[in-house]
Chain A
Amino acid sequence: MSLLSERAHESSRIAQRFAHLKKNKRSALVTFITANDPTPDMFRQILEGLPSAGSDIIEIGIPFSDPMADGPAIQASIQRALKHNTKIKDVLAAVKDFRETEQDTPVVLMGYYNPIYHYGPQEFAQEASSAGVDGVIVVDLPPEEAEELDVHLRANHIQMIFLTSPTSTDERLPAILANARGFIYHVAIAGITGTKLADERLVKDAMKRLRQHTLLPIAVGFGIKTPEQARAIAAHSDAVVVGSAIVDVIAQGTDVDGKPDPTLSVKVLDFVKSMATGVHGVWP
């Protein structure tokens, strides 16, 4: 890592958040919701409530019609979001509004490459940066293809977060980690989101292997559904990502026409609080 990018890293919201958590000997809870799921208003209500419910880092999904790495829960959430014709500019507008009242919690956008490519990688990076986005995860941009977007993200001080998986070999890890910034997102299972349960023992082994290759914080996601499980995974990692389980609460509180129960945000945030209790009690 060059001196310049190291400085950018240290001064970033993501780095500050992890430094603060480290001082308090706490793991981070990373929460995922899809933009405009189930409606633009309810999404914004949930988003605004996440920091005080205990979410340390917020991931917002950019909807895409063909989410190949996602299981049924997130597929359904994307379908609900697309009913509102959700576009990248809507996602960025929501982040910008969120930033008016919340300056400390990092926001990471997660999605697939086509909507970003179609929007224009440079425009996307510039506008995301001015909206207050801190990191970007693109599921179908492995390091081999990432440069065409990352060059613009770097220029706009957005951290590109790369994924590692149980199939990532030791030979591959240096290539993945070479350009990684912010944190590493370790996919705990070989599979799609929200299906198999993460295996604590395998996660522990993976952390050992990853830490030989990187000093960045490591978040673990895919297959973490309960506070107990979150606590177990948090004991080995720097952060725990919860997505499908939150999205399931949204699905349960939304009727077939896509209309949410008026108390849905309270239910979602209560669930986030319960997950935060699981994660925050421990430190690796």
Chain B
Amino acid sequence: MALAENRNTYRAGVDENGHFGLFGGRYVAETLMPLILSLEKAYNAAKDDPKFKAELAYLHTHYAGRPSPLYFAEHLTQHFGGAKIYLKREDLNHTGSHKINNCLGQILVARRMGKTRIIAETGAGSHGVATATVCARFGMQCVVYMGAKDMERQKPNVFRMRLLGAEVRPVEKGSGTLKDALNEALRDWVANVDNTYYLIGTVAGPHPYPTMVRDFQLIIGEETRRQLHEAEGRLPDSLIAAVGGGSNAIGLFHPFLDDLSVKIYGVEAAGKGVNSGEHAASIGGGSPGVLHGNRTYLLQDDGGQIQDAHSISAGLDYPGVGPEHAWLHFQGRVAYVPVTDDEALKAFELCSRLEGIIPALESAHALAYLETLAPNLPKDHLTVVNLSGRGDKDVVTVADAMGAKL
């Protein structure tokens, strides 16, 4: 395994077999192996093709509304009285989250491969909505697997997907959340190998997904780097993003990994507390294992059975984490820190009241870490929080948690 001192970069990515050191890989049934090998080939060809790059750039600008602003959060900054806080406004993208970045990239890859049917899994529904959106735009059949419990707590997104022409299939098995939706999507894929493309929404799954999805999310960090340079003339001092699978986080972090002056915090969902047994902090409260095609940190019992995750945020309610995050933790480059449901709810309200921005519950986890980090930092410390999505979809959940009647 490559150790930190043997590498001169944290951005080298996977080895030829798709491993980030101990993590990552291609732990899938033989039926799927030829598919992911051909996907790898197709993706490698696409990413170096000027026509592909130009089409994606056009869609970013004219369809998704990029670049997303980097917004100086004056009132949050005053409130905490320490670090100068910037928000990367991925909530302003078309469909309301960073998920569109990845979906636009992958739908172009799927089209190049001649696929006509798209399947996806979704937790909070943000990835499902983004997938249904690009399928509508590119005229592809779309089936989204969603845990039955998640469908209940994210009703507005379920309806949005249906409006966009997608079929949403409820998954009752297991805990009825994201993990189970992923299992069903994999079962669908293995049974429909000829025409179907599996559009994974996060930096997990077998190689090449963690790398490909990261590449499509790098635009978050690349824009941030440029925008902060325009605003402040320098690099940030710290970055904060929520980590479920970890796609918005890796997108922000990756372009800064080799700038060692930049402190990087990945916020895991600690649910009712990492010691409560009801959380989704795979790094903070899990151990290495193999699930859904890759080796990473997982919540599991002493027999290697996967345990249910818990988070108030459906998008973070997953018992694993992307393998590159596992590797960055192992290398000590990124600090993975816990934020509980209650802390996230408090940040959700605070950001709504002070900035007039209702954040997604996922993003509220990142905002909540400001309470720990920001007050003790000097006023010239620049921190960027990834506001990965907007919170409209979460109002039912939040009202419920606050005891309010809608």
Contact = CB atoms under 8 A, between A and B. Distances in A.
Interface string B268-310: 0000000000000000000001111101001010111110000
B48 interface: no
B191 A196 contact: yes
Nearest to A163: B30
B289 A114 contact: yes
Given A75-B173, A144-B17, A187-B30, A64 B305 contact: yes
Contacts of B306: 65-66, 114
A113 to B, nearest CB: 5
Contacts of A118: 289, 300, 302-304
Contacts of B193: 167, 190
A115 B33 contact: no
A88 B302 CA distance: 11
A85 B304 CA distance: 11
Contacts, number: 114
A114 B290 contact: yes
A250 to B, nearest CB: 19
Interface residues of A, number: 44
A70 B191 CA distance: 11
A86 B28 CA distance: 23
A192 interface: yes
Nearest to B17: A144
Contacts of A187: 29-31
B186 interface: yes
A115 B289 CA distance: 9
A88 B301 CA distance: 13
A196 B293 CA distance: 24
A119 B289 CA distance: 11
Interface string B1-40: 0000000000000000100000001111111111100000
Contacts of A144: 17, 25-26, 33
Residue among B27, B34, B293 with the highest chain A CB neighbour number at 10 A: B27
Contacts of A119: 304
B214 interface: no
A192 B187 CA distance: 6
Given A113-B290, A117-B290, A190 B305 contact: no
Contact of A68 (B17, B292, B300): B292
Interface stretch (A52-60, A125-133, A134-142, A198-206): A134-142
Contacts of B292: 66, 68
Contacts of B28: 140, 142
B23 to A, nearest CB: 12
A142 B303 contact: no
Contacts of B295: 117
A196 B290 CA distance: 28
B190 interface: yes
A145 B17 CA distance: 9
B179 interface: yes
Contacts of A113: 27, 290
A50 to B, nearest CB: 25
B33 A192 contact: no
B290 A69 contact: no
B183 interface: yes
The range of chain B's interface size is 35 or more
Given A68-B183, A114-B289, A165 B305 contact: no
B65 interface: no
B304 A114 contact: yes
B26 to A, nearest CB: 6
Nearest to A115: B304
B81 interface: no
Given A114-B290, A145-B26, A192-B190, A172 B304 contact: no
Contact of A140 (B174, B290, B302): B290
A198 to B, nearest CB: 14
A169 B31 CA distance: 10
Given A68-B29, A68-B292, A115 B190 contact: no
A195 B298 CA distance: 30
Interface in B290-333: 290-293, 295, 298, 300, 302-306
A172 B29 contact: no
Contacts of B26: 142, 144-145
Interface string B196-229: 0000000000000000000000000000000000
Residue among B17, B29, B187, B290 having the largest count of chain A Cβ atoms under 10 Å: B29
Contacts of A145: 17, 25-27
A114 B300 contact: yes
A162 interface: yes
B295 to A, nearest CB: 8
A64 B304 CA distance: 8
A28 to B, nearest CB: 21
Given A117-B289, A190-B190, A140 B33 contact: no
Nearest to B29: A69
A216 to B, nearest CB: 16
A75 B184 CA distance: 12
21 contacts: A65-B306, A66-B183, A66-B291, A71-B187, A112-B290, A115-B304, A117-B289, A118-B302, A139-B29, A142-B27, A144-B17, A162-B30, A165-B31, A167-B33, A167-B35, A168-B30, A168-B34, A169-B34, A190-B194, A192-B190, A192-B191
Given A139-B29, A187-B30, 17 more contacts: A66-B179, A66-B291, A114-B290, A114-B300, A115-B303, A115-B304, A116-B304, A117-B289, A117-B295, A141-B27, A142-B27, A142-B28, A162-B30, A165-B29, A190-B31, A190-B192, A190-B194
Interface of B: 17, 25-35, 173-174, 179, 183, 186-187, 190-194, 289-293, 295, 298, 300, 302-306
Closest 7 A-B residue pairs measured CB to CB? A118-B304, A115-B304, A191-B191, A165-B31, A65-B305, A87-B303, A163-B30
